[in-house]
Amino acid sequence: MAAGLVAGAALGFAIRATDNPWTKRQIVYVGFPGELFLRMMSGVTLPLISTSVVAALGSSRPPVLGRVGLCALALSLVCKCLAAAGALGLAAFLSPGNTVRLDVVETPRPNMSLSNVAIDRLLDFIRH
């Protein structure tokens, strides 16, 4: 994993040194392996954490389990209430969308070849 991090950083600095600007499509293609890696890591963390929690709770006594469960439930409820209150307060303070004026503008469709669309669909299939 460390070798991949170093290789990715070296590739990023090498690409950054080029004179030609990259298109958004090329940037998406270069970022695809990193996005795939992050999705795999996020998919692995939940099973690892849940199995370690189950193993720890399995070796505990029942009275301790009850207290831990109640504390976890209370902490979860308090965190959710604080997050909701903070979000509502921030939205009321900032009032997003009040200064936005929406105008309908027609944009021309980009000319995309079939091969680019097929590559994008293949990458989306792998990604999801």
List the domain boundaries for the chain: 1-51, 63-94
For residues 62-76, give the mean pLDDT: 90
Q: What is the mean pLDDT of the chain?
A: 84
Mean pLDDT of 10-15: 82
- Section 80-84 average pLDDT: 96
Report d(CA 15, CA 21) in Å as an integer.
10
User: Which comes out higher in pLDDT, residue 86 or 57?
Assistant: 86
For 97-127, the pLDDT digits (tens) are: 777 777 777 777 766 665 667 788 888 888 7
95 close to 4: Cβ distance less than 8 angstroms: no
For the whole prediction, is pTM greater than 0.85? no
